[in-house]
């Protein structure tokens, strides 16, 4: 790890780590500047700017066609240990209902990629959200498919990251801490 850190810093990059505790593993990621010989046609930023937020004020929208999946995700959000309030967790059973909501009120959207047999899938809903001139929420793809093509599709549609169905809820906390800096709420 020391070698990785040194190499990343030599190219003016940044390496970050979140530890899960003793014998529980860690998550590492890094950013690095890229030099191109020709001007790019389109470039997306890989720099993650963590949003400062008081966890008790965080607004979350869960979009999934399965009520049981929405309940599991809502419980994971409430019980991840950062103080997200149940009253701030909203749900939508399909893309149309999600788009009817005031999207710019949400800090985070957990979006099922497929949304069952509904008219619009999560990729289409994400593209529609990203096309709006609003305060943009962080959007996590929620899917059972974590193959490379699914991740590329999600990223291309504008989703920020991925949370696989069936993953331990602790992983949700790791993703949250990657995108948000939680201010301590007064006791």
Q: Which domains does the chain have, with CATH numbers?
A: 1-47 (no CATH), 51-183 (3.40.50.2300)
Q: Is the pLDDT of residue 175 over 50?
A: yes
Query: What is the maximal distance between C-alpha atoms in the chain?
Result: 54
Helix runs in 45-184, H state only = 67-78, 95-100, 122-131, 148-157, 170-179
Assess whether pLDDT exceeds 50 at residue 149: yes
Q: What is the pLDDT of residue 166?
A: 72
More confident residue, 119 or 157: 157
Q: Is the dihedral of CA 166, 171, 175, 177 positive or negative?
A: positive
Q: Which stretches of 25-134 are DSSP H helices? A: 67-78, 95-100, 122-131
Phi, psi of 186, deg, nearest 5:
-65, 140
Q: What is the pLDDT of residue 157?
A: 92
Per the confidence metrics, is the pTM higher than 0.75?
no
Cα atoms in the 13 Å half-sphere on the side-chain side of 97: 13
Instruction: Please tell me the predicted confidence (pLDDT) of residue 44.
Output: 46
| Mean pLDDT in residue range 164-170 | 74
Summarised one tens digit per residue, pLDDT across range 106-135 is 999 999 988 876 678 999 999 999 999 999
- 1-10, 22-31, 105-114: segment of lowest average pLDDT: 22-31
Give the residue with greater pLDDT, 69 vs 143.
69
> Residue 43: its pLDDT value, please?
41
Indicate the range of 4-18, 26-40, 48-62, 90-104 predicted with least confidence: 26-40
Mean pLDDT of 135-156: 85
Alpha-carbon distance 148 to 154, whole Å?
10
Task: Give the tens place of pLDDT for each residue, 34-92.
Answer: 655 544 444 444 567 888 899 899 999 999 999 999 999 999 888 888 888 999 999 99
pLDDT of the residue at 40: 45
pLDDT at 111: 95
């Amino acid at each position: 790890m020391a070698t990785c850190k040194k190499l990343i810093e030599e190219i003016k990059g940044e390496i970050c780590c979140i530890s899960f505790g003793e014998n529980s593993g860690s998550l590492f990621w890094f950013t690095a500047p890229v030099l191109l010989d020709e001007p790019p046609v389109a470039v997306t930023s890989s720099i993650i700017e963590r949003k400062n937020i008081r966890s008790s004020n965080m607004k979350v929208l869960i979009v999934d066609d399965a009520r049981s999946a929405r309940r599991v995700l809502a419980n994971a959000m409430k019980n991840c240990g950062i103080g997200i309030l149940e009253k701030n967790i909203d749900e939508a059973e399909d893309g149309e209902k999600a788009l009817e909501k005031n999207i710019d009120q949400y800090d985070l959207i957990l979006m099922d990629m497929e949304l069952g047999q509904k008219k619009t899938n999560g990729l289409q809903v994400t593209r529609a959200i990203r096309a709006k001139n609003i305060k943009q929420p962080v959007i996590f793809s929620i899917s059972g498919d974590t193959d490379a093509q699914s991740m590329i599709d999600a990223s291309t549609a504008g989703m920020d990251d991925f949370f696989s169905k069936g993953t331990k809820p602790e992983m949700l906390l790791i993703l949250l801490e990657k995108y948000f800096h939680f201010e301590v709420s007064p006791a």
